[in-house]
Structure 1
């Protein structure tokens, strides 16, 4: 794994926008616009490195599914902050029926510098983003800059194949609705939803676009509808389950999903059982079940225990929000006692020319599918991170 400087292509911004990346620039707190898609540098890997990383992703995904099964079997929902018995029962029921419920994709965030085993930082299994840039613009960048080279990137083909294989699980005769929120100011979620809708369309599915805010509940018919009162049988949502279950319609979403295709049921993608994997408590359960595993970091739910250096991560959060780091020097920061945390051994992100790098390894239908790389100036990958392409040389 190496970082290389290079000159951006002339007209790169227009190029990546035409390839689906609608926000190639990020507005920083000082008001300046700086590249989010950053092709002033790229990363290279050897084929054996990528094959080894694929093996790590397969192993981690298997361990995560085993941990999810353990949480359900041992009724450990309280460790995830799920204290409502009805929500716990619905998630457990969704897990037991997972063979009937489509699960499309997820992303592992890994700490890796090319010299040792990759370490799991977290699993984004419910609403992962940075998909479009990983699937499309970086592939075309490679074809233009390195003709004949390769890339760890079968995302598009695997997504289309996943929709095609899971079409049998979808309610027949009804379109698949793709929902995002109007509150998405950057357009990141909308961009991801539009791209996934296109992969479903290429798989032959009938698709519709929909805002989460335009989903309503028909109390007389007992079903979810759009603004024209049309029944919503299948909804892909880029809207976290932990938000959905706390909304006014949350109980209806869980109940209709539990009907399993019956009258009034709505099939939600991703399914409710993804709440087992999209929670940072999973990191502590993984370590408890697999202590010493080379691809895991020690993690606990009741405090840092004997960790000299640690990262305190809110159980639910995105873009590094609320993460506290303690490097073993000076007074340790005190996490908000009103927020549940997971304490994970601190594994500082590798530093490449002053840039902190994290690997986002994608899974589609339980199979490794591609890689996206983000860089940040600070120790936590946040909303100001940059996306850089990669190539296998």
Structure 2
């Protein structure tokens, strides 16, 4: 694994915007950062792909353990009234993209290690699936890339299409940066590429029809299938949570992703994994209590690296601010990321669609990967 410095294409902004990545600049450096790339050997990619498939297997076992043990599920900070809907969705296996991004630490030599699984509302999707592939085709046409993400998404939508109603609503929040809007628009493109009709909608425009007991859009059209780029842990605490519970009990709306994704996207799954598979080469020790050694403290439900702290030799050496933590913390043993350039610590985002490894994106940041991280493309060389 080598980090190679490059000269960005003079018109790179125009080119990535043409592909839909309008959110490409950052406060200090561009978010889309082609001033460097990562070069991997085929053997290293094979190890990342194998680790991704193995981690998915472990998550299946962990999910089964959680839904089977009420006391374990209680550690996740999920309102108890939603425990049964989670169990029912887990057992029923309703339609799902079943996609997500495993965030991994990797130094090119030892086994990749899991940090967490972003599988309810994963972002950095368009840049991983489309933008870095187009960059590779222009800049390194003779080389390969670990990337069949776009094709896998379209294929999965095609598999789901017979089980979906005529129209799929795709919802997101009106985020100022546009990241959620970009991701939702891209997922609409992949669904429409599979022949599914889609309708965009903002989350706060979704209404509830009291007489028909259903969610509706601005035109009072019944929402029968909804992809929502909005986390379940927020939904279950909204004012309309009782309507949500009513809707889940009726089972007349296809939620993508299903509510059982709350289990895998919650950091409480990390101690469960370690208890089930202690010493596994792709896991880091994790617990609900502060360990004796160096560790990273993570809120159960934090996003984009918020409220994370790194503790080394009893002292906090790095931390981020935020509004999370009230729901509790988990503690994961510290993995020392390689510093590939001054202040540049890469985290690999290895993607799955329907549980199968399909591609990778890399984000660089300081010791804690946050919403200021930069996306750096990669190639396979040899």
TM-score by length of 1: 0.93
**Quick check: 1:313 aligned with 2:321?**
no
1:229 and 1:166 map into 2 onto residues whose CA distance is 25
Match of 1:159 in 2: 153
SS in 2 for 1:25: coil
Match of 2:329 in 1: 341
1:102 and 1:382 map into 2 onto residues whose CA distance is 27
Shift of 1:333: 9.4
**Quick check: 1:119 aligned with 2:110?**
no
1:331 and 1:18 map into 2 onto residues whose CA distance is 43
Once the two structures are superposed, residues 264-304 of structure 1 have per-residue CA deviations (whole angstroms, 9 ceiling, x without a partner) of x2111110000010000101000000000001000001x12
Conserved in 1, the CA contact under 8 Å of 2:351 and 2:358?
yes
The match for 1:255 among 246, 249, 261 is: 246
Aligned length: 376
**Quick check: 1:47 aligned with 2:42?**
yes
- Taking the TM superposition and a 5 Å limit, the aligned residue runs for 1:193-272 are 193-260=184-251, 265-272=252-259
2:277 and 2:236 map into 1 onto residues whose CA distance is 31
- Taking the TM superposition and a 5 Å limit, the aligned residue runs for 1:79-228 are 79-82=75-78, 84-98=79-93, 100-171=94-165, 174-182=166-174, 184-228=175-219
Identify unmatched segments of 5+ residues in structure 2.
Answer: none
1:342 and 1:144 map into 2 onto residues whose CA distance is 43
**Quick check: 1:391 aligned with 2:382?**
no
2:140 and 2:326 map into 1 onto residues whose CA distance is 50
**RMSD of aligned alpha carbons:** 1.7
1:232 and 1:366 map into 2 onto residues whose CA distance is 27
Shift of 1:168: 2.1
Match of 1:30 in 2: none
**Quick check: 1:8 aligned with 2:8?**
yes
Match of 1:273 in 2: 260
Runs of 4 or more above 4 Å deviation: 331-337
> Structure 1 stretch 327-336 or stretch 242-251: which is displaced more?
327-336
Shift of 1:113: 1.1
Shift of 1:62: 0.7
Conserved in 1, the CA contact under 8 Å of 2:307 and 2:325?
no
Conserved in 1, the CA contact under 8 Å of 2:302 and 2:325?
no
Shift of 1:149: 1.4
1:338 and 1:46 map into 2 onto residues whose CA distance is 43
**Quick check: 1:18 aligned with 2:23?**
no
2:4 and 2:246 map into 1 onto residues whose CA distance is 52
Shift of 1:347: 0.8
Once the two structures are superposed, residues 217-255 of structure 1 have per-residue CA deviations (whole angstroms, 9 ceiling, x without a partner) of 001111110111110000100000000011122232233
SS in 1 for 2:145: coil
Shift of 1:332: 8.7
SS in 1 for 2:265: coil
Conserved in 1, the CA contact under 8 Å of 2:24 and 2:30?
yes
Match of 2:358 in 1: 369
Conserved in 2, the CA contact under 8 Å of 1:320 and 1:380?
yes
The match for 1:297 among 266, 273, 284 is: 284
Match of 1:63 in 2: 58
1:337/1:148 Cα in 2 relative to 1: closer, same or farther (>3 Å)? closer
Shift of 1:256: 1.8
2:249 and 2:143 map into 1 onto residues whose CA distance is 47
Shift of 1:331: 6.7
